[in-house]
Chain A
C-alpha cells in the first residue's frame, strides 16, 4: 500500500528566510504524481505545486520549488523568501492511477509552518 510520511509536525522560519519541508513516500508504481497543498487558517486547500514522476526536472512555482528524488522516494518543498502569508499547514500528497481509469490520492499528516515576523 502506498504511504506518505511527513516527519516534521511543526516548523517555524523567520520572514524572508528559506525553509524546507520534507516528505517521503512509498510506492511500487513507476508513474505517479506528487503534490504539495497549503491549508491556511481559513481551511481552504490550495494547490502549491505538483510534480510528475516521469519528469526529472524539479517543479518550481515562484518562491516554491521541490527537490524530487525518485530513487529515494523523497519530495521536499522549499519555500524561499518566506512571507507571513505562508503560515499554514502543508500537506504532501501522492496520486495513483488505476487501470480502470480512476484516481486516488493519499495525503501525509501535514506540517504546520509558522512564519515569524
Chain B
C-alpha cells in the first residue's frame, strides 16, 4: 500500500515550458486535491476533484489545468510555466464522509527559471 505517490520529485523548467505533475493514490479515495506551498503562505488549494470525472477550482487556479483520469489518478498541468509558479506542489486524497483526514503525497519541488 503506497498511499499517495507523486512524480517527479523535482523538476526545473524554463519560462514558457509545459509539464504535467502526476499523482496517484491506491486507497480507493474519491476526493483528490492539488496544493502549492510557498514560504510564509502555508498550503493553498489549486484544484480539487470530489469524484472521478469532476474537477473544481480552488483558491489559486490561474495558470493550471487538471485532469481526473480515473479514480486513482489526478494530474496537474502547467501549460506555460512562469517563475511565479516556482513552488512545492502537494497532492492529497480523502475518502468520503466519515473519514475527514487528508493523506498527502511526498511533494514535487518545481523551479521555473
Contacts and interface: CB of A to CB of B under 8 A. Distances in A.
Interface of A: 4, 9, 33, 35, 37, 42-47, 50, 52, 91, 93, 95, 97, 100-105, 107-110
A97 B58 CA distance: 14
B74 interface: no
Given A43-B106, A43-B107, A45-B90, A107 B42 contact: yes
B107 A104 contact: no
B43 A104 contact: no
Interface of B: 31, 33, 35, 40-45, 48, 50, 56, 58, 88, 90, 92, 94, 96-97, 100-104, 106-107, 109
Nearest to B41: A109
B56 A102 contact: yes
B88 A47 contact: no
Given A109-B40, A109-B42, A103 B88 contact: no
Given A33-B100, A95-B100, A107 B43 contact: yes
B43 A103 contact: no
A45 B42 contact: no
B48 A102 contact: yes
Name which of B35, B42, B107, B109 has the most chain A CB atoms within 10 A of its CB: B42
A43 B40 contact: no
Contact of B42 (A43, A100, A101, A110): A110
A108 B33 CA distance: 17
A3 to B, nearest CB: 11
